[in-house]
Amino acid sequence: MSTDYSRDTIFVGGEWAPTKGTGHIEAISPVTEEVIATVPSGSREDVDAAVAAARRAYDTGPWPRMSVAERVDAVGRLRAAFERRKEDMAQAITAEMGSPITQSRTIQTTVPLMMLDEQREIALNTYPWSELRQSASGNALVRRYGKGVAALITPWNAPMMTVIQKLGPALISGCTVVLKPASLAPFSAYLLAELAQEAQLPEGVLNVLTCDRAEAEYLVLHPGVNKVTFTGSTGAGRHLAAKCGELLRPITLELGGKSAGIILDDADIPAAVEAMRLLSFRNSGQICTLKTRVLVSKKRESEVVEALGQMVASMPVGDPLDEATHIGPMVSEKQSDNVERYIDIGIREGAQLVTGGLGRPDGLNQGWFVRPSLFAGVGPESRLAQEEIFGPVLSVIAYDDEDDAIAIANNSPYGLSGSVFSQDIERAISVADRVKTGVLEINGAPFGFHAPFGGVKESGIGRESGWEGFEPYVELKSIGLPKEYADSIA
């Protein structure tokens, strides 16, 4: 791609400013393995400047003092700018992290637009910004208002989806934001800053800087920050949560997953297997909610394994800019090596390799490509079944009966997502009720962005999306009212 994504500035206080540090982050193409751009590696002084700009915008600027409708309108302008440059955003995401272009045009860019639509609708029509509560014990006017400065730490795998999931509610609530995108996905964040300029957001409302891990932690713990939200690995999330706990600073965590797709005996097997094409392999297997454990009864195991093997083998691997590609490269050499390591672990643990395996896919001599792999006969206690791989590797685990399936699904440190496949929806719901996870789909049906999203156990703390997605960014204040006044406004 001829587009030059290199930058030598950060976005602070509504302007592009030179960094005070001298370091740079090299963006390496996952397709060519070559450096395709450099962006600044922000220093502590740059973090100070970004937080100070967000602090001014919250403490003395117009943003928190606008009405909700005015902020919704401003976010609507940002949405319109995003839609005008949707293809630019899709191309940037494919360039930076290798998402197949057809998926960059859908889950990476169309989904964020859908999120913004639902966030704005919830803010105007559903969310209780101000409510009167009356009882025998008293009368209260309950108000919700923005917490202050929010630090958003976002991942590389779905850069705009995770940013917008946090950014929309934060801004609409009246918070101001410092966004620290993943170093592996800086292009899309810089483009978002350009869109904020086009939308004429007040200065300091959104600030964007790239930096390394130490400076990101400095941002999280900065005295000018009121709220932190982080999407990433469980290990990093646990570390940041401990640090925020010392400060009594609220933090929302969306972390790892090892989700189960439970295929009940009455399921439509061809439909369930085809659903796994996206439920288990979208974004080249680099999504935390993917169903990477397929649970099937022993009497239908061979049928499902054969069908899954054919499906996995049918997915073209290659150039993410080719619209025929289903599986693109891993984001980095480190990630590619990690996926290969787990494929080797599966083989050494004695699981049956149905398709895929070690080594590059045929005809791909450069780029961080791996072979989409399916394992059968996987033990529920094995590393292949217990550890998050974050690549195109799927495990089939056999169960004895429904209770056994649920026990296997719950035998995980994670609890982020899941699926149940059955032609009996009531039965599927009863199984879903017993799976310890934050979200779950029946026959792959999406739950939408008006519903809360998040995990249990080591998959996170808190919820995003839905009206619940506004809660992390607001403070509540209860104002006691004289009964006569409360009665008059009731």
Residue 372's nearest CA partner among 348, 351, 342, 398 is 342
Q: Which two tokens stand for residue 376?
A: 């059968």
Q: How many CB atoms lie within 10 A of CB 299?
A: 10
In contact, 40 and 24? CB cutoff 8 Å: yes
Q: What is the pLDDT of residue 2?
A: 43
SS (H, E, C) 323-352: CCCCECCCCCHHHHHHHHHHHHHHHHCCCE
Position 1 pLDDT exceeds 50: no
- pLDDT attached to residue 290: 98
pLDDT digits (tens, 9 = 90+) for 313-355: 999 999 999 999 999 999 999 999 999 999 999 999 999 999 9
Q: Which CATH number fits domain 259-442: 3.40.309.10, 3.40.50.300, 3.40.50.620, 3.40.50.170?
A: 3.40.309.10
State whether residue 263 is helix, strand or coil.
strand
Lateral strand order in the sheet of 176-180: 15-18, 9-12, 206-208, 176-180, 149-153, 227-231, 251-254, 460-461
Q: Check residue 452 and report its DSSP letter.
A: -
Per-residue pLDDT reduced to its tens digit, 91-129? 999 999 999 999 999 999 999 999 999 999 999 999 999
Regarding beta strands 352-357 and 371-376, do their DSSP bridges make them parallel or antiparallel, or are they unpaired? Answer: antiparallel
Q: Please report, for residues 26, 262, 292, 457, the alpha-carbon distance to residue 103 in angstroms, rounded to integers and kept in the order given.
A: 25, 25, 19, 29
| Ramachandran sector of residue 182 (left: φ over 0; alpha: ψ -120 to 50; beta: rest) | beta
Residues 6+ apart with CB under 8 A from 170: 146, 150, 152, 177, 227, 229, 473
Residue 4 binned pLDDT confidence (cut-offs 50, 70, 90): confident
Helices (H), 60-100: 68-84, 86-97
Which residues 6+ apart lie within 8 Å of 208 measured at CB? Answer: 10, 11, 50, 178, 179, 181, 189, 190, 192, 193
Using CA atoms, how far apart are residues 124 and 128, in angstroms rounded to an integer? 9
Backbone angles phi, psi at 484, to 5 degrees: -65, -40
Q: How high is the mean pLDDT of the chain?
A: 97
Give residues with Cβ within 8 angstroms of 266, minimum separation 6.
422, 423, 424, 427
Q: Is residue 215 annotated as part of the catalytic site, yes or no?
A: no
227-245 per-position pLDDT tens digit: 999 999 999 999 999 999 9
- Residue 227's CB is within 10 A of a number of other CB atoms, namely 25
* Phi–psi pair at 141, nearest 5 degrees: -100, 115
Domain boundaries, the chain: 9-255+459-477, 259-442
pLDDT in tens, 440-481: 999 999 999 999 999 999 999 999 999 999 999 999 999 999
Angle between helices 402-410 and 425-434 (to 10 degrees): 40
The CA-based angle 83-89-95, given to 5 degrees, is: 165
- Choosing from 215, 254, 388, 441, which is the catalytic residue? 254
Count how many Cα atoms sit within 13 Å of the Cα of residue 158 in the half-sphere of its side chain.
Answer: 26
The average pLDDT across 158-185 equals 98
Bridge partner residues of 420 (DSSP): 262, 442
Measured in whole angstroms, how far is the alpha carbon of residue 97 from the centre of its chain? Answer: 14
DSSP 438: S
Mean predicted confidence (pLDDT) in 129-142:
97
Distance from chain centroid for Cα 151: 15
Q: Which residues pair with 176 in a beta bridge?
A: 149
| Distance of alpha carbon 308 from alpha carbon 276, whole angstroms | 8
pLDDT in tens, 43-60: 999 999 999 999 999 999
Closest alpha carbon to 44 in 5, 6, 10: 10
CATH 3.40.605.10 fits 9-255+459-477, yes or no: yes
DSSP 98-118: ---HHHHTTTTTHHHHHHHHH
Query: What contacts 122, CB < 8 A, 6 or more positions away?
Result: 450, 466, 467, 470
pLDDT digits (tens, 9 = 90+) for 5-47: 999 999 999 999 999 988 999 999 999 999 999 999 999 999 9
d(CA 3, CA 6): 9
Instruction: Kindly state the tokens that stand for 357.
Output: 């395996």
pTM for the model: 0.96
Determine which one of 96, 175, 288, 471 is catalytic. Answer: 288
Asked if 470 and 165 count as a contact pair (C-beta separation under 8 A), the reply is no
Q: Is the pLDDT of residue 3 over 90?
A: no
What pLDDT sits at residue 47?
98
Q: Is 175 a catalytic residue?
A: no
Predicted confidence at residue 122, as pLDDT, reads: 98
